[in-house]
Structure 1
Amino acid sequence: MKKIDLHSHTLISDGTLTPNDLVERAKAKGVEMLAITDHDTVDAYEQLSPASYDGLKIIPGVELSTQWRGVGVHVVGLNLSLDSASIKEGVARQEKARADRAQIIAKRLTKLVGPIDFNRVSEIANHSQIGRPHFAQHLVELGVVKNTSTAFKKYLGDGKPGDVKQCWAELPNIIDWIVKAGGVAVLAHPLKYKMTWTKRSALLDDFIAAGGRGMEVVSGQQTKQETDRLARLCVEKGLLASCGSDFHQSSQWSDIGAMSAFPTVCKPIWLDW
């Protein structure tokens, strides 16, 4: 089976590699089909050099943030038209939401730990999209926490003061932008959401009702039991199956193309690409 990675990030959002460096690393790791799915932006594609693809099939993509019943949820849009008016509108709205969200996070953290240097946070984010990982790194620099993991546990993780969800567009809007751009909406990393399997099933029902057609049955390294359970849910809901490393930076467990085995019972989302 081909090595396919349909969920990855560059430094345009919260990854560490440039778009072209990510492509080079994907090729070096044997990836044959790649989607760059930066958070709420498609700017990475403007920096890619088509001459560098060299046999690597690039699938245009994006990861859009939203919420469902108060839980932060991510939807990946795949194989969409980057020139579509709908995706340009959606990205512009999400970029404003992300900028507003960053200001709210900064104010909340200031009340808890003291002054936050917003210009420094922007520098950490390479003057691009500001996200929670950039605030986490700044808290480490300030000596507030020892590492970014602790920053999330105390200040930025789910349910913590720095977890701001109310800025995002609603789930049906997110999916509509993707569909109108000719893409396929995919529920990203279902196991990352803190919810019961009953709620996860209800989320998928609402996702499908709004026009969603796929789900990630493999997100990075999972146990076979986790993958099998997601595969059963995917088949039960009649969804197409996707997979991705959710790559942000190189490590033993989260490198580009490093994923658990794809379940054969599922219909791959990329069959017609």
Structure 2
Amino acid sequence: MSRIDLHLHTTHSDGSFSTREVMTFAKQAGVSALAITDHDIVDGIPEAIAAGQELSIEVVPGVEISSRFQGSELHILGYFINWRDTVLNERMARLRAGRHERNPRIVQRLNELGIDITYDEVRALAGTESVGRPHIARVLMEKKIVSSAKEAFDRYLANGRPAYVDRELPEPEEAVQWIREAGGIPVLAHPTWVRTSAEGLRTLLGQLKAQGLGGIEVHYSTHTPSQTTEYLELAKLHDLLVTGGSDFHGLTKPDIEVGIGRGGLKVPEKLLEPLRQAASAA
């Protein structure tokens, strides 16, 4: 049975490999269909579609939209979106602008901690309009200040750490609405990241389902078997579609590979058709 991967990042956001390189990795991993889901930007989709035609890989137009839930980020994936939608692109441009305002303040805080880093260095490394904390982490790695992106976040960049700076984000319900209005199916990304209790997650899913949430990311690189089972049960409880993906980023998550995650991930190909049908009916 073929595998799919509906959660991938490229250099258009915080991934370290180009769209073409990610597509090539997917072909090597035996992936039959995938979604490029860069953060708050869809610029990689045209190149992915073109490469997909050449490599015989179906490309689902996708995105990962950042939102705010109880003081922390919560991500909503969107599938089969109209990636040319003007309103969606304007909304995402505002989210990216929020990063541009925040990033220099993060760099300033790092400078105040005695770390020699400039925002020009971060932008040069990113090479894209969508610059974020993972790019700052990579500069810290290149300067040997930290040994990994995880260390950069744990020591400096994560919420509550000394260089963290907040930014304005929509509520999860708004992110769901944005995706619906662009013709897509909204899906809760990596539910294990949601900072709430098991009961809180059930409540949140019920609330978001009422606002148009269509699915939950059950299969994910770092989910344990028990978590996968738990999220499958939640999908059934709330009548949500089941999706999955590696959340491949490249250098900032070096243990995660396209299509296979940490080695044991296999998102079944059969999950794609219900998602496609839901999008057609939307």
Please say whether Structure 1 and Structure 2 have the same fold, judged by a TM-score greater than 0.5. yes
Cα separation, partners in 2 of 1:146 and 1:153, compared to 1, 3 Å: same
Higher mean alpha-carbon deviation, 165-174 vs 45-54, is at: 45-54
How far the C-alpha of 1:221 sits from its partner, in A, is 4.3
Q: Which residue of 2 aligns with 1:213?
A: 214
Unaligned runs of at least 5 residues, structure 1: none
The range that moved more, 164-173 or 239-248, is 164-173
Distance 1:253 1:51, change over 3 A: closer
Q: Give 1:113's aligned amino acid.
A: G
Give the superposition deviation at 1:104.
2.8
What is aligned with 1:19?
Answer: 19
TM-score w.r.t. the length of structure 2 is: 0.87
Question: Contact (CA 8 Å) 1:187, 1:216: kept in 2 or not?
Answer: yes
CA separation of 1:271 and 1:145: change in aligned 2, threshold 3 A: closer
Which residue is equivalent to 1:239? 240
* One-letter code aligned to 2:25: R
Deviation at residue 175 of structure 1 after TM alignment: 1.6
Q: Which residue of 2 aligns with 1:176?
A: 177
- TM-superposed CA distance for 1:83, in Å, is 1.4
Pairing 1:73–2:78 present: no
Q: Flag the 1:147–1:262 CA change in 2: closer, same or farther, 3 A.
A: closer
Q: Counterparts of 1:149 and 1:69 in 2: how far apart (Å)?
A: 23
Q: Contact 2:3–2:268 (CA<8 Å) still a contact in 1? A: no
- What's 2:118 paired with? 117
**Structure 2: runs of 5 or more not aligned:** none
Deviations 1:220-269 (A, max 9, x none): 143221110111111111111110010112788411111535589x8975
Q: SS of the residue aligned with 2:113?
A: helix
Counting matched residue pairs gives 272
Greater share of residues in helix: 2
Which amino acid is 1:234 matched to?
Answer: A
Is 1:145 the equivalent of 2:146?
yes
Instruction: Work out the percentage of aligned pairs sharing the same amino acid.
Output: 33
What TM-score does the superposition give when structure 1 sets the normalisation length? 0.89
Distance (Å, rounded) in 2 between the aligned partners of 1:67 and 1:188:
13
**Cα distance in 1 for residues equivalent to 2:234 and 2:128:** 40
Distance 1:55 1:223, change over 3 A: same
The answer to whether the 8 Å contact 1:240/1:267 transfers is no
In 2, the alpha carbon distance for the partners of 1:162 and 1:210 equals: 35
Query: 1:262 and 1:41, CA in 2 relative to 1: closer, same or farther beyond 3 A?
Result: closer
Q: Which runs of 4+ in 1 moved over 6 A?
A: none
